[in-house]
Amino acid sequence: MMTNALPPIFLSHGSPMVALEPREAGAFWQRLGPAIDAAFGRPRAILAISAHTTASEPALLAAAQHHTIHDFGGFPDALFQMRYDAPGAPELAERVSRSLRDAGVAVQRIDDGGLDHGIWTALRFVYPQADVPVLPLAWVPSLPPAQQFAFGEALAALGDEGVLVMGTGSITHNLFKVFGGRPAVDAPEIPESAAFRHWVHERSAQRDWAALFDYRRQAPHAALMHPTDEHWLPWYVAAGAGGRDAAPLRLHASVTYGCLGMDAYAFGTQAARLHATLND
């Protein structure tokens, strides 16, 4: 049966410089918003789970209006001049709170806002008018992949209500490789990054959740590609919101600086519909 339920997505946001040097990922993001709208209708809100908005226990940033957070340093002035001041979604916060509490997850509501660069660098291409309300959900990065997936499962019904669940981080994320070697933005991909990205793609196609949950031991070069894994774990939250019944689908694959993967995935039974719309 066809439905307009929005599939959860994961976007790799890479370096903040993607806002100035969007390359292949930026071109994909520009197609993504229109594809979502065409296949499912414009989202009524976006629930954003970002690598840069975390907490010791879950919290919803339920401000009525967000401001742009420039949570980085040492980048060109032009990056600090960029703004993406999207409206908030305070009315959605109560709905998300109920879902999480029904699943036994305590969550705080904070009537404050702000969009970190993991959210706005992508959304400024996906929905450049900043007219879709955003509700950031601070999550707990100390929990392992299986628990992040279970956390996402509590958000599964939101897609049926026109809410886009969006995890944002990076499929590979070793900043020591970036800032230590100073590779060019278009540097060839290092083999370790390619191997990790291929493993995720392959295990996803097989719906091998056991292996994906155990990525730290089973994925090639996992510790090198994620010395800390807060940029990878939002993938599991979005995947949990999509459920186990459909294979995660890779919507986009590219790399910046030779080691920052920019892959994007969609989850759930409607992921194939989004993939098809993007490729029409």
| Position 179 pLDDT exceeds 90 | no
- Domain assignment present for 1: no
- Residue 4 in any domain: the answer is no
What pLDDT digit, counting tens, does each position of 207-233 carry? 999 999 999 999 999 999 999 999 999
| pLDDT computed for residue 30 by the predictor | 98
pLDDT surpasses 80 at 3: no
pLDDT of 1 above 60:
no
Looking at the 3D structure of the chain, how many domains does it have?
1
State both tokens at 146.
């299986």
Q: What is the mean pLDDT of residues 58-75?
A: 94
CATH code at position 243 = 3.40.830.10
Mean pLDDT of the chain: 95
Bigger pLDDT: 36 vs 75: 36
Task: Give the global pTM.
Answer: 0.96
**What are the Cα distances from residue 276, in Å, to 45, 95, 195, 209, 280?**
23, 30, 26, 24, 6
Asked if 76 and 62 count as a contact pair (C-beta separation under 8 A), the reply is: no
Q: Say yes or no to pLDDT of 270 above 80.
A: yes
What are the tokens at 196?
């990790």
Model pLDDT, residue 72:
87
Residue 181 has pLDDT above 80, yes or no: no
Q: Is residue 2 part of a domain?
A: no
| pLDDT, mean of residues 144-165 | 97
At 176 the pLDDT is 74
Domain that holds residue 120: 9-278
Q: What is the mean pLDDT of residues 99-116?
A: 95
Q: How far is residue 153's CA from residue 241's CA, in Å, rounded to a whole number?
A: 5
d(CA 217, CA 223): 9
